[in-house]
Structure formats: C-alpha cells, structure tokens
Amino acid sequence: MNKAMLMKTCSICGLQKPLSAFLQVTGPEGTNYGNICAACRKTQPEKPTENEEATSSTTGHKIDAKAKARGDIDKKQQLEKVEELYHEDRDKVSEKEAKRTEKITILTAQETKQREQQKSKQSFLDRHKAAQQTIEVFGGEQQTAKEKRIDLTAPVLDTYHGLKEKHKGVMFNQFKTWLGGGAPIGSQAPGSHTAGKEQAKKTRETTEKDPLVDYIDQNWTPGKGPKRR
C-alpha cells in the first residue's frame, strides 16, 4: 500500500505539487519549505508572507522569528525605561514645585507676621506719643491758667517768715522802742505777743547803747517831731 504523499499548492502557479518541490534550505535548524515551487522559484523570487517564520528587514537581510522576538522585547523594555524615566522626572518636577510652593507659603506667612508686628509697634508708639502730647497740653493749660490767676501788677507782700526775720533786726527793735510799746507796728510784728520780758530788756539795753537811738531821743519827741532848741 503506497503511503500518502504530502502535497502543497504553489502560490505562483497555483498547482499542487509534492512537498519536496518546495524544499528551500536544509541545515542545523531543520528543513524549511517555501510557498513557491522549484520551477516558479527559478523564474520569480519568493515573496515572504506573514505565515513565514522568517521575515526580512528594510535592508533585505533575513531575520528569523527569535531575533524578531528579541528585538520586540528590547523595544518594549526600552519604552518601559523611557516611560519610567519620564515618570521619575515628572515626580521630581512635582516635588520641586511642591517645595517651592511650601517655601512661598512660609515666606508669605513670615512677611504677614512681620507686617502685623510692625503695625502693632507703630500703633503703640502713636498711642504713647498722643498720650505724651495730651499730658504736655494739659500741663501747659494748667500753667497758663495758674499764670492768669497770679496778679503780677500787685505789690509784693512779705511773707510771714520774711516779716518775722525783718522784725528781729536791731534797727526795727530800736525804732519800735523809740515809738513806744503802744505803737501799732509793735503789736503787729510776728512773735510780739510771745516775746518774753528778757528779750524786751535786752532790746532796751541794746538801744540805749546805740548812738543813733541816743541822737533820736535827744532831738526828736515822739508824736511831735524834732525838738526845738
């Protein structure tokens, strides 16, 4: 019984021919069969199809399926690496932008706080200055009112202390003795009511020894003027 012969249709002439007519290469990788029979291959080169295990590059060199798969994997890995680098750069940019925004926020808060402190300090200085001016104006008004109450045109009157010191003088005591004890000026002198007898005695002794008093006693009469000779 004859074994069934494997047949294949040629893509050029469309005839079914034995599989051996499509044999192309026999090597370590195995036997390869094409889609064009040996007769048609002589007249027209075989066009590669998608079903072939081997494809050709743009340069015309044949690339097997394994090499093509490795190339695809390399491209995919390269794309993944590029995408990863892109995301890393984008994350760095985002982080940098976030830090910049945070820095701007901190600086803005510091400037706002500084302006508020400066404004508060200025307000305090203004209030202190206004209070000082108010005190000065109030003091000036008081001083002006006090000066208005003082009558500078009135005669100067001795104070009690001044009168007391003046009435202690020798000349005043001599004059008071010459006028006599009943004279009003003697009774109005400060301390006249409290002076003791010893003080009056000392005053009389002093006046008796004073030449001026002696001259007045000899030449003047109390209440009548100079004595006539």
Residue 122 lies in a domain: no
Residue 125 lies in a domain: no
Residue 103 lies in a domain: no
CA distance 66 to 49: 17
Using alpha carbons, list the distances in angstroms from residue 137 to 11, 42, 126, 160. 121, 127, 16, 35
Task: Specify the pLDDT at position 130.
Answer: 79
Residue 151 lies in a domain: no
Task: Specify the pLDDT at position 150.
Answer: 61
Task: Tell me the residue length of the chain.
Answer: 229
Task: Specify the pLDDT at position 121.
Answer: 82
Residue 16 lies in a domain: yes
For the segment 126-156, what is each residue's pLDDT rounded down to a tens digit?
A: 887 877 776 665 555 666 666 666 655 655 5
Domain range for residue 200? 160-218
Tell me the pLDDT band of 123, cut-offs 50, 70 and 90.
confident
Please, is 52 exposed, middle or buried when counting C-beta atoms within 10 Å of its C-beta (0-12, 13-18, 19+)? Answer: middle
For the segment 189-205, what is each residue's pLDDT rounded down to a tens digit?
A: 555 544 555 665 665 66
Residue 101 lies in a domain: no
Tell me: pLDDT of 103 over 80.
yes
For the segment 88-98, what is each residue's pLDDT rounded down to a tens digit?
A: 888 888 888 89
Q: What is the number of alpha carbons within 13 Å of residue 112 lying toward its C-beta?
A: 6
Structural domains counted in the chain:
2
Task: Specify the pLDDT at position 53.
Answer: 46
Q: What is the number of alpha carbons within 13 Å of residue 16 lying toward its C-beta?
A: 4
Domain boundary among 52, 71, 88: 52
Residue 214 lies in a domain: yes
Residue 126 lies in a domain: no
